[in-house]
Amino acid sequence: MLWKNRDVNDENQEVRYFAGPKYRYVTNVYAADTLSAWAGINEAGFAIMNSNSFNIMVRDEGLADDGNIMSLALGTCATVNEFAVLLDSLNVIGRETPANYGVFDSTGTTSIFEASNLFYNRYDCADDTIGLIIRANYSVSGSPNRETGKNRYERAMQLAVPARHENRIDSRFIIRTLTRDIGRTFLDPYPLPFEDTYDTLPPGYLPVESTLCRRTTRSAEVMVGVRPGEPVGRTMMWVLLGSPEVSLPVPVWVQGGTLPEALDGPAHAPICDEAIRLRDYVRCDPDHPVADNTYRLADLLDRIAPAEEHLFGMVDSAEAGWPLTGPTPEQATALTSQACTIVLNAYLQFWEYLRREPYSPIPDTAPTIGPTVSRDTVPVGLPASVRAGTARVFDAAGRQVATFGVQSGQRMVTWQPTNLTSGNYFIVFPEGSASRPVRFTLVR
């Protein structure tokens, strides 16, 4: 298995299929990205992810970009040794960004390559005494002066090593314990909520500037390989779009061949958009923008936990019934689509729960973000400056798809869309209303 928490500035994340020179693959990408791969698996059973490394650089130049390297690897490599040959060739022209590359293949070989601009050092998991390798944003073979993220490395080891000794490391553990962790080596706040104060933050708030799941964590991926000698068709990846502390995992398989719009939309992925709103609900105090309200977070996680357990159980049941070669394209596509529906419905149900129970026992003075996911009817809060006229509805591609009337002074209108499919839509109020468009997600 490989695990990656992806920390970047761009919060708009998607999952996409590509056809490489030799192999098809599925990978996490930026919403508009068609050239790079950031964590993925291919049909040969090869998987890759990386973390930038800031202490192994030998010069400030190089031609090969890390996202392009991983895209090329997924499209052409079947084994870890073939990836090593690829890195050998890139030692000549240089790599633009030094990085730690985690890879595995269908033989069970699993390695970390600490790659500077001009050379690399390889570490095989089979040679490690505890049977796992963890890296943050530095390389153990690099300088001791820029060990960026060492606190995150130490926290991950603190959580993972006991689990490894007790044989508890599986997809559930990685997703629930590692990807979402907001603790520290000196402060374990679990079980949430954190019923104390940290530094000068309000009661129940914790900073997420340097935690495993932190301010800039935009997605998480857990890639699961096959046992040595087994067919590669069962190789799969769990993807959490949005901050993993509030996100639900979606399973994808390369042999599916296509992905639902919930993961790969025409502009953004609806699942990622909704996870961003849930993150904003948890990270809600404008005076403390990089701190979580752990009361809100604990309540949210409790509410979506049944859906998550259903997702894991659904995949366990499906895999038990598949042949050793794995799912057919139709089975893989159907299961991913079903998982996306479960995830979006879970997010919708959470907002509906808040709507039903506005006076929550959670001690909280921060404003609640209104629900933006709707199923059959859309409750539209109108701006105080709304002018009488026709509100127009546009889809994510910018096409007008519907209209409805509004009146001056009206504060709320309930609109029932017809003939619209699931997806992201935008409401533009009549000219002169002095209001920005309102975005909402429709779930059918």
First-last CA distance in the chain: 34
Please indicate, yes or no, if residue 359 is contained in any of the structural domains.
no
We report the CATH number of the domain holding residue 418 as: 2.60.40.10
Q: Where are the alpha helices (DSSP H) in 25-133?
A: 66-76, 80-93
Could you report the per-residue pLDDT of 376-419, keeping only the tens digit for each? 777 777 777 788 999 888 887 778 899 989 888 777 788 788 88
Count of domains observed in the chain: 2
Shared-domain flag, residues 379 and 309: no
H runs (alpha helix) in 30-79: 66-76
Q: Which residue has the higher pLDDT, 311 or 358?
A: 311
Residue 364 lies in a domain: no
Q: Are residues 337 and 379 in the same domain?
A: no
Tokens linked to 338? 């079903």
Question: What kind and span of H or E run contains 316?
Answer: helix 294-321
Give the tens place of pLDDT for each residue, 280-331. Answer: 999 988 899 999 999 999 999 999 999 999 999 999 999 999 999 999 999 9
pLDDT band at 171 (very low <50, low <70, confident <90, very high): very high
pLDDT given at position 355:
75
Q: What is the pLDDT of residues 225-244, one digit of tens each?
A: 998 889 999 999 999 999 99
pTM for the whole structure: 0.84
Specify whether 313 is located in the same domain as 418: no
φ, ψ of residue 335 to 5 degrees: the values are -70, -40
Choose the final residue of a domain: 318, 334, 350. Answer: 350
Say yes or no: 125 and 214 in one domain: yes
pLDDT tens, residue by residue, 12-56: 999 999 999 999 999 999 998 888 999 999 999 999 999 999 999
- In this predicted structure, the answer to whether residue 371 has a pLDDT above a threshold of 60 is no
Name the pLDDT band for 353 (thresholds 50, 70, 90). Answer: confident
What does each C-alpha distance from 263 to 230, 240, 337, 421 come to in angstroms? 29, 10, 9, 15
> Do 192 and 285 fall into the same domain?
yes
Q: Based on the domain organization, do 72 and 187 belong to the same domain?
A: yes
- DSSP annotation of 226: P
At 137, give phi and psi (nearest 5°): -100, 40
Name residues whose C-beta falls within 8 Å of residue 374's C-beta, 6 or more positions apart in sequence: 348, 440, 441, 442, 443
With 0-12 CB in 10 A as exposed, 13-18 as middle and 19+ as buried, what is 322? middle
Range of the domain at 271: 2-350
Q: Within this chain, do residues 285 and 387 fall inside the same structural domain, yes or no?
A: no
- Which CATH number goes with the domain that contains 142? 3.60.60.10
Structural domain includes residue 73:
yes
